[in-house]
Amino acid sequence: MPPAQEPPLPPQSSPRTPEQLNTAEPAAAEAAFLSCCGSHSWARRLVAHRPYPDLDTLLAASDEAAYDLAPADLSEALACEPLRSTVPRQATYTAAHTALRAAHAAYESRFGHVFVICLDDVPPSQALNHLLAGIRARLGNDPEEERVIAAEELRKLARGRLTRLVHDLNSPYVPV
């Protein structure tokens, strides 16, 4: 059974402020940021540049930190990613899921890290097909080219996770 998909992004029309991340103790803020991207360098950089007046500023800082990841930092972040990309749960296990498992294994064998792809803008009904097409297409990349693409996908994943984190922190039902 595939893992559950991450919750959808909150509507863009209701921006939130990352005030709780701004005022959190450095270690707590770093831990929260690490839940979005597994690079300690990336997380410490976001902590060091607080406060963020709004989500857009936080996302811009996240992008800048992601673009500046050293190869070792990228490897650290990729090592923290789930072993399998998330796709929506379906009532039955299909041949596509078997193909996906095989494609993941081939990718990990070829590149030495998990396959990462951001599916935030992909409708759930198309996620599995998009994931399969992406992994198959990227299996043909040379390792250096694939590392650049994986870094970009990781950057996009971090943006979505940060957005959800800020949204969840500002929800009146989530204790901080």
Q: What pLDDT, in 10s, does the model give residues 96-142?
A: 778 888 999 999 999 999 999 999 999 988 888 899 999 999 999 99
Residue 42 amino acid letter:
W
Task: Tell me if 45 is assigned to some domain.
Answer: yes
Task: Tell me if 106 is assigned to some domain.
Answer: yes
> What CATH number does residue 36 fall under?
1.10.3330.10
How many domains does one find in the chain? 1
Q: C-alpha distances in angstroms, 129 versus 88, 96, 146, 149, 162?
A: 11, 8, 20, 19, 26
Task: Tell me if 8 is assigned to some domain.
Answer: no
- Stretches where the chain sits below pLDDT 70 are 1-17, 83-93, 169-176
